[in-house]
Amino acid sequence: MRQKRRNHLPAFKAKVAIEAIKGDKTLAEIAEKHRLHPNQISDWKKQLLAHADSVFGSAHEEKKYSDERVKDMQAKIGQQALEIDFLSKVLGQ
């Protein structure tokens, strides 16, 4: 009978990959500890290193986020200006 395939959560994969990057233990020791194949750990380690820059976001994403926030703030300021104008007319009568 075949063994059921295990699916690992991203947090677990990251934890194991970081453990491998640290280099305190060999891949064989880490594999035995977590009941994994050493090749799987190597793959996760490569993936983590390849995509580490996305953890902090790219400059393009930061600019996009900043532009969106500016537009949101400008919309709120415009809305408040309309409300203040309306209230000043109503209360001024």
Write the pLDDT tens digit of every residue in 32-50: 999 999 999 999 999 999 9
CA distance 6 to 78: 53
Asked whether the predicted pLDDT for residue 58 surpasses 90, the reply is no
Taking alpha carbons only, the member of 65, 10, 20, 12 closest to residue 41 is 20
Whole-number mean pLDDT of the chain?
A: 88
| Res 55 pLDDT > 80 | no
Query: How many other CB atoms are there within 10 angstroms of residue 65's CB atom?
Result: 11
Burial profile 71-81: b = 16 or more Cβ within 10 angstroms, e = fewer: eeeeeeeeeee
